[in-house]
Amino acid sequence: MLDRYLEGDVARISPEAPVPVVRMTREWYRPGGAGNVAASLAGLGCRTTLAGAAGQDPEADRLRQALNEAGVADCVLVGPPGCRTICKTRVVSQGQHQLLRLDQDGDRPAFQAAGATLRARLDSLLDTQDVVVLSDYDKGALTPALVRATIASCRDRGLPCIVDPKQVDFLVYAGASLLTPNLLEARRAVGRPIDDDDSVGQAACELRERLGLEAMLITRGADGMTLATAGGLHHFPAEVREVADVTGAGDTVAAVLAACLGSGSRVEDACRAASVAAGIAVGHPGCYVVRASELDRALRGCSPKVRSPEAARQWALDQRRAGRSIVFTNGCFDILHAGHLACLEQARRLGDSLIVGLNSDASVRGLKGPTRPVVGQDHRAALLAGLSCVDAVVLFDGPTPEDLIRLIEPHVLVKGGDYAPDGIVGADFVRSYGGRVATIPLVPGLSTTSILASSRDADRLRTAESA
């Protein structure tokens, strides 16, 4: 599917009808449906092949371009002449509130014919793969014959086969490695209410045994996920984050499961990673692609506020779409103290969101010598992320944050009062597009250098007294 977004300002109601008037400012495209799963796998660093049905129309061309930009390595899209690509057009305000969705559905018989074509090419498609995902949106391409043939071929080859189902009757998926229905889909499959851990667990075990699956995973939104394996039941709590949009969360789960199982991880570890990734994804508007570095930090217990440069760029784009102004400041923040806190709190008041560029350990050593930093970069980042006035933290290795500033394009660039505004790195760039440069008075007598000097003086005094 192709996801098309039309974004604009909403300032008045139409005089012709009681509907908002949208003054369009931007249009963009993203891979949707199974394409989002492929894009998510590519974002995790996997070489990904997408096979599916699409039309022969401008939407298909845009879909291929969006997949290419997302890093999907190979694309096998088939469809007879005259077939239309499924396209979902969302009209959104600059705050990312969805105002309207227009669906252009495909031709089901044509997609079923495309499924037959894919089945004929199945062996060549599977020859170079480590794992297979069947992302079923019940649009016709994944015919029962294609589904059964794919699962059988995967079993013969020893490939994990993960299925995100949409059919009411799950029997068509029998023999798959892992099935990942949501709660509603699982409830329909067993034909009874399932609402708590016990009933969901019973349903997961029942479906796993009935379908001959290696594992059954039921995703439960805010209640987490429940996994049934031959070894027993496992409940994974949802990662508690601010929810911006649940669109595509199931695709994220399927992609992370595939990336983990394809590299030999245990299914329990894969599910934990998928739960963490879904928590990251739903914190962003639209279909968000979770990056490998971002997931790695989250799995190590790092705050979601600590972002890679690429994730920080996407965060900044999301902030702008929501109409929020971005403030940027930077520093080493070695031994975080009250002076730092005062500057950060004042910086945050200059806009809606504050992002802090943090010198990495290598950068600090280059600036301050081999004995610094006193506190490692992961700990410094965690401390900054724990402050309520800080919305994002991103590490940089260079001597200055110039490249990071160009990536973020903040509305306001801030440094402490020991800098002259014209001497602040990135000042000219920020002013070039109408941004603002500001300085904040320092708290007298508070600096990392003075704190370290006082500590050394105290040590010398204690040594002299003991002598």
For residue 302, give every residue at least 6 positions away whose Cβ sits within 8 Å of its Cβ, in sequence order, or none: 378, 381, 382, 385
Identify the bridge partners of residue 98 per DSSP, sorted by sequence position: 92
Spatial CB neighbours of 460, under 8 Å, sequence gap ≥ 6: none
- Is residue 98 helix, strand or coil? strand
Task: Name 295's Cβ contacts closer than 8 Å, sequence gap at least 6.
Answer: 44, 256, 273, 276, 277, 280
Would you say 285 and 299 are in contact if contact means Cβ atoms under 8 Å apart? Answer: no
- Secondary structure letter of residue 196 according to DSSP: S
Backbone angles phi, psi at 456, to 5 degrees: -65, -40
185 marked ligand binding residue: yes
Catalytic residues: 251
Starting at the edge strand that comes first in sequence, how are the strands of the sheet with 436-440 ordered? Answer: 392-396, 353-359, 326-331, 412-416, 436-440
Using a 10 angstrom Cβ sphere, with 0-12 exposed, 13-18 middle and 19 or more buried, the burial of residue 27 is exposed
Give the closest residue to 90 by CA, choosing from 13, 40, 11, 24.
Answer: 24
Distance between CA atoms of residues 340 and 329, nearest Å: 11
Of the candidates 201, 193, 142, 200, which has an alpha carbon nearest to the alpha carbon of residue 172? Answer: 142
**Under 8 Å between Cβ of 267 and 215:** yes
Contact, 233 vs 204, CB < 8 A? yes
- The continuous run of DSSP H or E covering 102 comes out as strand 98-104
**Tokens read off for 100:** 């309207």
Annotation-wise, does 44 bind a ligand?
no
Give residue 14's identity as a one-letter amino acid code. S
On whether 207 is known to bind a ligand per the annotation, the reply is no
d(CA 312, CA 355): 9
Instruction: For residue 99, say whether it is annotated as part of any ligand binding site.
Output: no
**8 Å CB contact between 125 and 118:** yes
How far is Cα 431 from Cα 340, in angstroms, rounded to an integer? 25
Binding residue ranges for ATP: 182-185
